[in-house]
Structure 1
Amino acid sequence: MLATFAVLLLAGQPEIRHDLRTRTPVLTYHDMVPDRGPGALWFDCTPQEFEQQLDWLAANGAHFISIAQLYDHLTRGAKLPSKAIAITFADNYLGFYGRALPILRRRQIPVAMFVHTDFVGSSIGRPKMSWGQLQELDREGLVTVASQTRTHPADLRTLKQKALNEEMAGSKHALEAHLGHTVRFLAYPNGKFDSRVARAAASAGYEMAFTEQLMPADRSPSIFKVARYVHTKYRRAWSDAYGRGR
C-alpha cells in the first residue's frame, strides 16, 4: 500500500534515466574557515584547502557544472561536458560569502548553496548569510540558492508528518518570497532521509533532493535521493567516477 502511494505521488515527475552511462560526482562543502585552528571541525575547509582541491580537480580535467545541468542530465539525458562534477555548499554560512565566493567568482565555478531559512541572518553560533546576500548571489547567477528545510532538524525521519511537511514547504515558500522565483532543489539536513521524507520533498514541489550517500549521482536510486560526497572524500568521488587522478 505504501509503495503504491509513493508511485502515485511521484507519477508524472521525471526520474533518473536508466540508460545513463556516465558517473557524475557531486561534492558538498560546509563552512569556510580562515585556518584550521582549535575551533575547526572535520567538515570545515580553509581557502587554501579549497584552492588546492579545485586545482587538483582542474588538473585532472574536471568541468564544473550547476545542479540544474545535473538535473537535466539525470532526467532528460542532456549532454554534460567530459569529466563533469558539481559542487554544493550546506548551511548558509557567512564564511562562504567572504572566503569561498571570491575564489568561485575568479574561477567562474557554479555551485549550489542549501539554506535553512529560519536562521538566515542569524549571528548565533557561526553567522549565516543574510537575505540581502542571498539575493545578491541569486541575481548574479553563479550560485543556485536552494532549500535545506526551515530549521535543519538533526534527522527528518524522526518528525511527525505535519512537522515534516512544514519543514519542506515552509522553507520553499520563504526562499521563493525573498528571491522572487521558484526554488527547485533541496538537500536533506545531515543527509538523513527515508522514503517518507523523499515523498514529502516531492509533495512540497521540489524537483530534486540530495542525500550524502557515497556514489555518483547517476547511480542514485531516485531523483529525490541524489547522492553526494562530503568534500573530504573528493579523491574517492573522482576515483568512483573517472578512475584515480594524478
Structure 2
Amino acid sequence: MKIHILHSIKIILFTVSLLLGATQSGPTPVYYSNQVAILMYHHIVDKPEKPHMLPVKQFRQHMEMLKTNGFNVISMDQYIDFMTRGTAIPNNAVLLTFDDGYDSFYTHAYPILKEYGYTATNFVIVSFIDNRIGIPKLTWDQMREMKEEGMSFYSHTYDSHKYAPINAKGVERPMLSHRLYLKDKKRVETQKEYIKRITDDLALAEKRLREELGNTRGGVAFPYGTFNDEVLEVLKSMGIEITFTIKKGMTTKKDINALRFDAGNIEYTAEKLAELLKGQGKSSAL
C-alpha cells in the first residue's frame, strides 16, 4: 500500500514539475518574421588587439544567447532561397557571416559552431587563400572539411579588398568601386578598362571557389561595404544576385544588397546583442 502511495506521489510531483517547466519556458516569443538578422564577424581570437577581434569567450556567449533566446540560425542556402524564390524562413531568423577568411574561423569559431549545431558563411579574399598573404588565412583543405559539416564560403573578391590611388595626388579609395589612377599612363582608367578589371577580378574569385569547393551558387560581400551601379551590373551579368554590405539593419526580400549587424565588434556583449535583435520587431534598423 505504501509503495503504491509513494509511486502516486512521485507521478504527481513529476507531472507538476512538467507543468511548471512548461509555464516557465512557454512558447518562444516572435521578435520578427519574414526578415533576417545577418550578423557580421571577422577575427575570433584569444586576446583581442583591435575592436574587430572578438574574444573566443564572447563569441561563445553570443552563440549561447541565440540558443537560449529562441533565435533560429539559417544556412546561406536557406537565405538565398528566401531572397530569390520567396521560400519561407523561421521566425527570428539569423544568418551568421564572417569576412576575410582568417584561419581563426577554423581554429576558434568552427568548433563552437559545431557544438551548437550552427552553420555559418565566410566571405574569403580568394587571392589571400591562393597566395597565403598577411595574417594566417584558411586553406582550401580546411574549407573543404568545414563545407562537409555545413559551413559555406563565398567571395569577398579575388584581389580587390584594397584601397588604391584614384588620381595623380595619390588620394586612395576602395578599388572595387572606383576607377583607378594608372601611374605609368598618367591618367585614370577608362570606363571600359574599369569594367574589365572588376569583371576579371570577380569572375576569377567565382572560378576558384567552383574549382576548389564545388560552389554552384554565387554571392559577394563588398569590401568596406562599398559598391556602385557598375559593380551591380557586372554581378548581374554573372548571374550573382546575392550581395552583402556593412550597413546596419534587418534584411527583407526587398533588400537586394543585404544589411548586416557588426556583431564582431568587442562592444557587443551577448546581452547587448540580444537587446538589439529582440528590438527588431519594433524597428527594422537600429
**What TM-score bracket applies, with the shorter chain setting the length?**
0.7 to 0.9
Specify the alignment match of 2:114 in structure 1: 105
1:204 to 238, 247, 251: 238
Amino acid at match of 1:148: H
Equivalent position SS for 1:145: strand
Specify the alignment match of 1:12 in structure 2: none
Specify the alignment match of 1:79 in structure 2: 88
Give a deviation string over 1:178-224, Cα, whole Å, max 9, x none. Answer: 123424211111211122222222222323111111111106542xx
Give structure 1 stretches of 5+ with no counterpart: 1-19
Distance in 2, Cα, partners of 1:28 & 1:67: 13
Pairing 1:163–2:197 present: yes
Specify the alignment match of 1:120 in structure 2: 129
> Could you say what the CA RMSD is over the residues aligned between the two structures, in angstroms?
2.2
Pairing 1:44–2:53 present: yes
Structure-2 change in CA distance of 1:193 and 1:201 (3 Å): same
Q: Which has the larger radius of gyration?
A: 2
> How many residues are paired up?
219
Distance in 1, Cα, partners of 2:130 & 2:38: 27
Equivalent position SS for 2:51: coil
Amino acid at match of 1:202: K
Amino acid at match of 1:238: L
Correspondence 1:201-240 to 2 at 5 A: 201-218=235-252, 220-222=254-256, 225-231=257-263, 232=265, 234-235=273-274, 238-240=277-279
* Normalised TM-score (structure 2): 0.70
Correspondence 1:4-23 to 2 at 5 A: 22-23=34-35
Structure-2 change in CA distance of 1:177 and 1:66 (3 Å): same
Structure-2 change in CA distance of 1:237 and 1:74 (3 Å): farther
Specify the alignment match of 2:221 in structure 1: 187
The answer to whether the 8 Å contact 1:122/1:128 transfers is no
Pairing 1:28–2:40 present: yes
Aligned residues: percent identity? 27
Amino acid at match of 1:177: E
Give structure 2 stretches of 5+ with no counterpart: 1-31, 164-173, 180-193
Structure-2 change in CA distance of 1:164 and 1:121 (3 Å): closer
Amino acid at match of 2:277: W
Structure-2 change in CA distance of 1:226 and 1:190 (3 Å): same
Specify the alignment match of 2:157 in structure 1: 149
Distance in 2, Cα, partners of 1:188 & 1:137: 23
Distance in 2, Cα, partners of 1:54 & 1:46: 13
TM-aligned CA deviation for residue 99 of structure 1: 0.3
Structure-2 change in CA distance of 1:45 and 1:216 (3 Å): same
Pairing 1:176–2:210 present: yes
Distance in 2, Cα, partners of 1:55 & 1:72: 26
1:53 to 54, 59, 62: 62
* Normalised TM-score (structure 1): 0.81
Give a deviation string over 1:61-80, Cα, whole Å, max 9, x none. Answer: 10100121112112322121
